[in-house]
Amino acid sequence: MNSPTDTLAQALRALVDHRLRTALSVLGIAIGIAAVMAVVTIGKGGNYLVFSELETFGLNSAWVYRDRNATPPGEPRRQGSGIDAADVAAIRARAERLGIRRLTPQVYPDRNMSITRGNRRVVAGLSGVGAAHVDIVNDELVAGRGFHTIDIVARHAVALLAPDVAADLLDPRHPGVGQDIRIDGRRFRVVGLLASKSRDFLSSIGSAGGRSADDRLLVPWTTLASMSDEPDTVDSLQLEVVEFDRAQRVTDGVRTLLKRRHPQGFEYGGETMASYIATTDRILGGVAVIGTVAASISLLVGGMGIMNTMGTAVLERTREIGVRKAIGATERDIMAQFLVEAALISFAGGLLGLLIGSAASVALAAVTGFPLVPSPVAILAALAVSVLVGVLSGWLPARRAARMHPVEALRAD
């Protein structure tokens, strides 16, 4: 039997002798591997982006709101959001039993409210929130303070500004807190500046209704409610649940409580971040499967390239195979020789594909802001898969070579 080093040396020699053909086959595999890698990178990067975007809303977040599409049969529809300040107090009193760590009411302006400072004017997302909001949604303050309970209770006219609003509205010579702005004509004191939360990629697609997370300002919910026609109304509740896995139960509990307090004319809905994440995972998983299948097809095409190359090589070297058999090569020797050649081609293709794929991933990361998540396991897997593709593709041609009849092979030209 032929020794491994001899086989390897001879395979290398044969491949170098047919540089062009070898190079084309290598390229075929390289493209396949690079395609698979790109899909995996995009999948991972996308997953990370979506996840980090969801994280800005707080992973343990859940929402409860009036479900306006549902009205219990036989009950008259009623106006309003179905949640009021007394409900908030009631839920807060039972927070621990319900599994709620924190909660914040959410109030949205019931009409278009101007946001100005002197002759500056911005269009931004205005919402009224509670003191816990900043903690629930993982907001960070770069200056000043968040809302205190006294701001909420006493309906203080104070505001927190996200970076874009601050940049557009505040005096650039004295950036920072302490300046006054006007909302719907009423004067508000800027007490805090929020850190940037923009995820360029996804916010451009449209979280928060196409509005960047950096393009918002917050005021106490009690203050904003007092400026509306229904000063007692809360639009929705955002909760931070104690246990991620029990988020759905928590919203169910809150809905039951609200329904008991408003027995006529209202139905409530609940959403949890946990269910969003599960849905997102399912969608991304589906996309990844489709992408991987598509990329695998190009790897398959690369494998067929190797099969073709090795088939040609076997035909061309029929006489050589006959000679080798005549001087004592076994079927295994011949088989090993061509399989090693095929494996070498695909291994080289795998390496090249990794290089191309890495370069493409780096470029992609630079353009889209994807974080690069290098994975040694994926690299080893890519190399292993490429060698496997080579061996599988080389199998039939190699077997044909191994089973050639020595006399007939020697007769070939």
In the complex, least distance from residue 37 CB atom to other proteins, rounded to whole angstroms: 34
Under rule CB under 8 A, residue 6 binds other proteins: yes
Region near other proteins per CB under 8 A, out of 80-88, 191-199, 268-276, 402-410: 402-410
Under rule CB under 8 A, residue 331 binds other proteins: yes
In the complex, least distance from residue 372 CB atom to other proteins, rounded to whole angstroms: 42
Region near other proteins per CB under 8 A, out of 46-54, 209-217, 268-276, 328-336: 328-336
In the complex, least distance from residue 314 CB atom to other proteins, rounded to whole angstroms: 15
Under rule CB under 8 A, residue 1 binds other proteins: yes
Nearer to other proteins, 172 or 328 (CB): 328
Task: Pull the structure tokens for residue 21.
Answer: 């053909």
Give 163-166 contacts, CB < 8 A, sequence gap 24+.
163/193, 163/194, 163/195, 163/196, 163/198, 163/214, 164/124, 164/212, 164/214, 164/215, 165/115, 165/122, 165/124, 165/214, 165/215, 165/216, 165/217, 166/190, 166/193
Distance CA 303, CA 101 (A): 56
Cβ proximity of 87 and 109 under 8 Å:
no
Q: CB atoms < 10 A from the CB of 292, how many? A: 16
Region near other proteins per CB under 8 A, out of 11-19, 92-100, 301-309, 378-386: 11-19
Under rule CB under 8 A, residue 14 binds other proteins: yes
Under rule CB under 8 A, residue 341 binds other proteins: no
Nearer to other proteins, 156 or 325 (CB): 325
What 3-state class would DSSP assign to 120? strand
Report residue 147: phi and psi, to 5°.
-80, 140
Count of residues near other proteins by CB under 8 A: 27
Interaction mask 16-35, other proteins, x per CB under 8 A:
-x------------------
Length of the chain: 413
Ramachandran area for residue 202 (φ above 0: left; ψ -120 to 50: alpha; else beta): alpha
Under rule CB under 8 A, residue 401 binds other proteins: no
Distance CA 164, CA 170 (A): 10
In the complex, least distance from residue 2 CB atom to other proteins, rounded to whole angstroms: 6
In the complex, least distance from residue 327 CB atom to other proteins, rounded to whole angstroms: 5
In the complex, least distance from residue 312 CB atom to other proteins, rounded to whole angstroms: 16
In the complex, least distance from residue 407 CB atom to other proteins, rounded to whole angstroms: 5
Q: Which amino acid is at 383?
A: L
In the complex, least distance from residue 324 CB atom to other proteins, rounded to whole angstroms: 7
Cβ proximity of 34 and 357 under 8 Å:
yes
Distance CA 198, CA 202 (A): 9
Which one of 2, 280, 308, 312 is in contact with other proteins (CB under 8 A)? 2
Which of the residues 298 through 327 are near other proteins (CB under 8 A)?
Answer: 319-320, 322-327
Cβ proximity of 35 and 295 under 8 Å:
yes
Residues that bind other proteins (CB under 8 A): 1-3, 5-6, 10, 13-14, 17, 319-320, 322-333, 405-407, 410
